[in-house]
Chain A
């Protein structure tokens, strides 16, 4: 003890013994302290990354030019109008170095090719994170004070979606997610506003339940409510995890509140045309096929695969669901039961209706709902059913008698992508990111507490990721970017053709598949310029009996059994109205041409432009399946359209796969002449 004390006092004497010495020692300590800071800066993370980069490029072939492009020090991309200060390029030095394509280690990997330059947009606009930071942990992972970590790469398309509200070829996941938001009823409960203030509108068609008793039974509704996916694997209705009593009460209310409408089977008692004569099931199957029902409706085959389109409901167990008389009435004219259905009015004959109805009714699963026995409901149970419907927000999607459509039923998701982490109640053990939160919320909504009303959706991982991507694109930043950078969503117009033809087109539900003047589906060709494009005779014949134009497509135009007058009405309307000024009939070549010009066109077709790689002219030799078959193109298209199309396909149909070959006028004329010579069903034109 004594010695320690002695030691300390002698040390004190040596260091601070007299004022001069003490001053010297203190100065030295201060100097050292001041030296620590620059030293620390020298050994900072970004310095060491820049040194690593230099040693990485040292041994490369183009080391000299790469080193010339390298600038030491902190790099910064500053865009005041976007509020961006990005210093990411301080460490990510090889982002635009083409020769680093083989480098897979971050931070020196080359950025994949995108339409934007790093200097023009910076990094955090798309990737998120803290652009101003100069350490990895601060830039990538910081969660403090409203900061959010960078966007996981699997959701990176969300970055694009902040400016681009339209569907793009490079963002399939985002496109799918947005489509699903509209198709799975998400936007019926949750408001999702785009940065330009427009609301995302639903594109699904949840059936109205105001006269549901006409269509189905309480027992089926009960089974459906308990588990929609048990009825149809592709059902978009989510599972509300209802108890038996809940499902029983809700079904009781729906049936008891259902009121017959004019035209209902119960009221109008449509005559069952099949009465008396049995139909052949094989006929039913072939009529189902001929009518291309599977373009819209899916059926699960014996192997368990769901085959068919997803526009209409799956029909695997349709026999369990609908009443026979309702099905007859529906097949006769679906618009009587539901005026807004996307299903066309087929104009089947009574015999055809009977055949198809019997065929569909054979699609019955004897096990489905077999043990559902519901006792007649008491008024209390019906009242409870109504309360459950109001609580569950059923009327957000379905029209139900006695229940109002709820407004703002679920939280607004317009800026969910930048929701502050501090405001999120994460589950224990969950990674603290918005993306994880959204994924968990979609996968297991009820895991976030018993009071959560959101139902259980049956979604694949890819679908969940797509939805998450679309929601992550809804950020606060997307609302502050300049208008000039925004690309608006391609919204459907409310185009409605006029007159009797317009009525016909509504009845035939043309817009379910075709797009005209910015409205309609994308299943079939855009018909905006159909009048300029095709010949009268062909259109008349095609509407009478559609033949296959594009062999590679599964979905095809069904036959509608139009009367001759209706057919003429529709043909006249389309030829007169759906015209484009881009096609000038006066300057175009004529339909008939001298043989040497036709021969010249054939040479161009097969050699110079190699059109046979996508199109078929001679069914024996040509193998092109990508574009439409051209064996009869001479009797289908007008010469003027063909000529204009050959000159610039994209001008007539933006986004078409046909390349712009930049043909000379002479080549285009010769090719048009050749194509116009292809008239026959026997391929006569090609053989000449």
Chain B
């Protein structure tokens, strides 16, 4: 049975169509496996080869991958939500309620988007703490840490812009308060405030602006930075694992306090 299935899979992978799509071809050799990674537009961002302990659970707790997972869920559910939502003042709240009242599984869709968003913010922070406390932000990965900071900001902005879209009282006042914070910036504060809301108070223009930011500008920016983030992992020598570091660098690192007390 198993051999038969394997045979069929081998046959498919050897076919012309498959080869035209996946150029690495079939085979189990190290070269083939490396090519499978290197020749895939998405996977080639990653190292073709990693040490097993780099991908072990304990070294990263998979926090970065989980964050990506929530991001993908948000993209999918977000696109589905966009099918039911009009960013206009009389319609936005009613559309949001209609998801609950009449759209099949609409409430599930909305809740999935909402909880994934909350989870993503949590995971981003957890990921950064993990990186920070393991010292993975240090040379040569300091630039990737900065990219990570940018991604944190994008995540928070996505969260903030999404907050207005239900167009309920909570959203309205939260954005009113939040946008007023920007007016506190010296000299250009009121200009920023005006630019952000498309007016002097939260209204139709603000809703449209936040919608465009939330659904187009910020996600695209996030994708670009996520790509750079992943690409830099390979460029900076793979995922950080303490034991994988060259000895010289490990010695150069300041001794741990625990070691000192011994």
Instruction: Please determine whether B102 and A145 come into contact, CB atoms closer than 8 angstroms.
Output: no
Instruction: Please determine whether B104 and A132 come into contact, CB atoms closer than 8 angstroms.
Output: no
Task: Report if B56 contacts A (CB, 8 A).
Answer: no
Most buried by A among B107, B108, B168: B108
Binary interface encoding of chain A residues 124-143 relative to chain B, with 1 for a CB under 8 A from any of its CBs, else 0: 00000010111100100000
- Inter-chain CA distance A133–B99, complex, in Å, is 10
Task: Report if A587 contacts B (CB, 8 A).
Answer: no
| Contact residues in B for A422 (Cβ distance below 8 Å) | 169
Q: Which residue of the partner chain A has the closest CB to B166?
A: A145
Task: Tell me the B72-126 residues at the A interface (CB within 8 Å).
Answer: 90, 93-94, 97-98, 100-102, 104-105, 107-108
Instruction: Please determine whether A145 and B93 come into contact, CB atoms closer than 8 angstroms.
Output: yes
- Inter-chain CA distance A422–B108, complex, in Å, is 29
Instruction: Please determine whether A138 and B101 come into contact, CB atoms closer than 8 angstroms.
Output: yes
Contact partner of A144 among B98, B101, B169, CB < 8 A?
B169
Q: Which residue of the partner chain A has the closest CB to B101?
A: A134
Instruction: Please determine whether B168 and A85 come into contact, CB atoms closer than 8 angstroms.
Output: no
Instruction: Please determine whether A41 and B97 come into contact, CB atoms closer than 8 angstroms.
Output: no
Instruction: Please determine whether B98 and A41 come into contact, CB atoms closer than 8 angstroms.
Output: no
Q: How far is the CB of A16 from chain B (nearest CB, A)?
A: 10
| Contact residues in A for B170 (Cβ distance below 8 Å) | 145
- Inter-chain CA distance A83–B89, complex, in Å, is 13
Q: Which residue of the partner chain B has the closest CB to A422?
A: B169
Instruction: Please determine whether A133 and B97 come into contact, CB atoms closer than 8 angstroms.
Output: yes
Instruction: Please determine whether A37 and B168 come into contact, CB atoms closer than 8 angstroms.
Output: no
- Inter-chain CA distance A37–B99, complex, in Å, is 13
Q: How far is the CB of B244 from chain A (nearest CB, A)?
A: 23
| Contact residues in A for B97 (Cβ distance below 8 Å) | 130, 132-133, 138
| Contact residues in A for B169 (Cβ distance below 8 Å) | 144-146, 422
Instruction: Please determine whether A37 and B108 come into contact, CB atoms closer than 8 angstroms.
Output: yes
| Contact residues in A for B100 (Cβ distance below 8 Å) | 138
| Contact residues in B for A133 (Cβ distance below 8 Å) | 97, 101
| Contact residues in B for A130 (Cβ distance below 8 Å) | 97
Instruction: Please determine whether A87 and B104 come into contact, CB atoms closer than 8 angstroms.
Output: no
Instruction: Please determine whether A87 and B102 come into contact, CB atoms closer than 8 angstroms.
Output: yes
Task: Report if A554 contacts B (CB, 8 A).
Answer: no
Task: Report if A74 contacts B (CB, 8 A).
Answer: yes
- Inter-chain CA distance A83–B102, complex, in Å, is 18
Instruction: Please determine whether A41 and B168 come into contact, CB atoms closer than 8 angstroms.
Output: no
Instruction: Please determine whether B94 and A144 come into contact, CB atoms closer than 8 angstroms.
Output: no
- Inter-chain CA distance A145–B94, complex, in Å, is 11
Beyond A85-B94, A132-B97, whether A145 also contacts B104 by CB under 8 A is no
Q: Which residue of the partner chain B has the closest CB to A46?
A: B101
Beyond A132-B94, A132-B97, whether A145 also contacts B105 by CB under 8 A is no
| Contact residues in B for A120 (Cβ distance below 8 Å) | none
- Inter-chain CA distance A554–B90, complex, in Å, is 56
- Inter-chain CA distance A138–B102, complex, in Å, is 13
| Contact residues in A for B93 (Cβ distance below 8 Å) | 145
Q: Which residue of the partner chain B has the closest CB to A130?
A: B97
Instruction: Please determine whether B105 and A74 come into contact, CB atoms closer than 8 angstroms.
Output: no
Instruction: Please determine whether B105 and A132 come into contact, CB atoms closer than 8 angstroms.
Output: no
| Contact residues in A for B101 (Cβ distance below 8 Å) | 87, 132-135, 138
Binary interface encoding of chain A residues 16-55 relative to chain B, with 1 for a CB under 8 A from any of its CBs, else 0: 0000000000000000000011100100000000000000
- Inter-chain CA distance A102–B93, complex, in Å, is 39
Q: How far is the CB of B52 from chain A (nearest CB, A)?
A: 13
Q: Which residue of the partner chain B has the closest CB to A83?
A: B90
| Contact residues in A for B108 (Cβ distance below 8 Å) | 36-37
Task: Tell me the A102-130 residues at the B interface (CB within 8 Å).
Answer: 130
| Contact residues in B for A37 (Cβ distance below 8 Å) | 105, 107-108
Q: How far is the CB of A659 from chain B (nearest CB, A)?
A: 48
| Contact residues in B for A145 (Cβ distance below 8 Å) | 93, 168-170
Instruction: Please determine whether A134 and B102 come into contact, CB atoms closer than 8 angstroms.
Output: yes
| Contact residues in A for B104 (Cβ distance below 8 Å) | 38, 41
Q: How far is the CB of A407 from chain B (nearest CB, A)?
A: 29
Instruction: Please determine whether B168 and A144 come into contact, CB atoms closer than 8 angstroms.
Output: yes
Task: Tell me the B161-180 residues at the A interface (CB within 8 Å).
Answer: 168-170
Contact partner of A74 among B90, B94, B102, CB < 8 A?
B102
| Contact residues in B for A132 (Cβ distance below 8 Å) | 94, 97-98, 101-102
Q: Which residue of the partner chain A has the closest CB to B169?
A: A145
- Inter-chain CA distance A83–B105, complex, in Å, is 25
Q: How far is the CB of A39 from chain B (nearest CB, A)?
A: 11
- Inter-chain CA distance A422–B169, complex, in Å, is 10
- Inter-chain CA distance A458–B105, complex, in Å, is 55
| Contact residues in A for B94 (Cβ distance below 8 Å) | 85, 132
Q: Which residue of the partner chain A has the closest CB to B93?
A: A145
Q: How far is the CB of B171 from chain A (nearest CB, A)?
A: 9
Q: Which residue of the partner chain A has the closest CB to B96?
A: A145
Q: How far is the CB of B69 from chain A (nearest CB, A)?
A: 11
Instruction: Please determine whether A41 and B105 come into contact, CB atoms closer than 8 angstroms.
Output: yes
Contact partner of A38 among B90, B98, B105, B168, CB < 8 A?
B105
Q: Name the 6 nearest CB pairs between A and B, nearest first.
A: A37-B108, A145-B168, A134-B101, A37-B105, A145-B169, A74-B102
19 additional contacts (CB under 8 A) given A38-B104, A74-B102, A138-B100:
A36-B108, A37-B107, A38-B105, A41-B104, A41-B105, A130-B97, A132-B94, A132-B97, A132-B101, A132-B102, A133-B97, A133-B101, A134-B101, A134-B102, A144-B169, A145-B93, A145-B170, A146-B169, A422-B169
A-B contact pairs, 30 of them (CB 8 A): A37-B105, A37-B107, A38-B104, A38-B105, A41-B104, A41-B105, A74-B102, A83-B90, A85-B94, A87-B102, A130-B97, A132-B94, A132-B97, A132-B98, A132-B102, A133-B97, A133-B101, A134-B101, A134-B102, A135-B101, A138-B97, A138-B101, A144-B168, A144-B169, A145-B93, A145-B168, A145-B169, A145-B170, A146-B169, A422-B169
